[in-house]
Amino acid sequence: MKSILGFIFIKIKNFADNCIAEKNKSLFFTKKSSIHSSFKIGKNNFLDISPHAEFEIGENVIINQSNYITVKRNAKLIIGNNTYITRATISCLGEIEIGNNCILGEGMKIFDHNHQYTRDPFFVSKTDFNIGKVRMGNNVWTGANVTILKDVTIGDNCILGSGVLVYKDIPSNTIVMAKQDLILKPI
């Protein structure tokens, strides 16, 4: 009896997860969207998507679980064919373009904007932004905890190693590693 109840519970949970995933997927279908029917999205995603956002999502794109995706009014998010994203943060106020055959690793963050500020008197705005673009070529692989900032272009066939902060353009066919020294001191 326990095994039957366990089986029924798993089936109900899977059905509920699929319903949530389909509801989340529908948020990407705005008036300005072009989304391939093979697009898949996992569970436990936080989505802040404007109905006035624009999407171009290619064939066999998977946005796996536990991502934070923000696409604001009149912003554009483009994701090329066969791209896989998991446990990432994508914050799009302008335009972010991700190429074909990309793998975006856990903890990866992309921001196409930063906060505006004044110098005299010093003040950082909570609601006003300098908006730019991020362009990522084809066949880009990001390791864990990569951060990509606004106005950056990453070429084709690049590997961004774990913990890299990308604040300037990266040419095609490049491996980028963070230089970090471990300092060991006896206690």
pLDDT at 179: 85
- Decide if 115 is catalytic: yes
Q: How far apart are CA 32 and CA 88, in angstroms?
A: 24
- Domains of the chain: which residue ranges? 2-176
The pTM (predicted TM-score) of the whole model is 0.83
Strand 140-142, strand 158-160: pairing: parallel
Position 80 scores a pLDDT of 98
The residue annotated as part of the active site, out of 36, 52, 113, 115, is 115
Report how far Cα 150 is from the mean position of its chain's Cα atoms: 14
Residues of the chain with pLDDT under 50: 16, 19-20
- Phi, then psi, of 114 in degrees rounded to 5: -145, 170
- CATH code: domain 2-176 is 2.160.10.10
SS3 content of the chain, % helix, strand, coil (to 5): 15, 40, 45
CA-nearest of 139, 143, 142, 168 to 156 is 139
Model confidence over 97-144: pLDDT tens digits? Answer: 999 999 999 999 999 999 878 888 888 888 888 899 999 999 999 999
Q: For residue 102, what pLDDT is reported?
A: 98
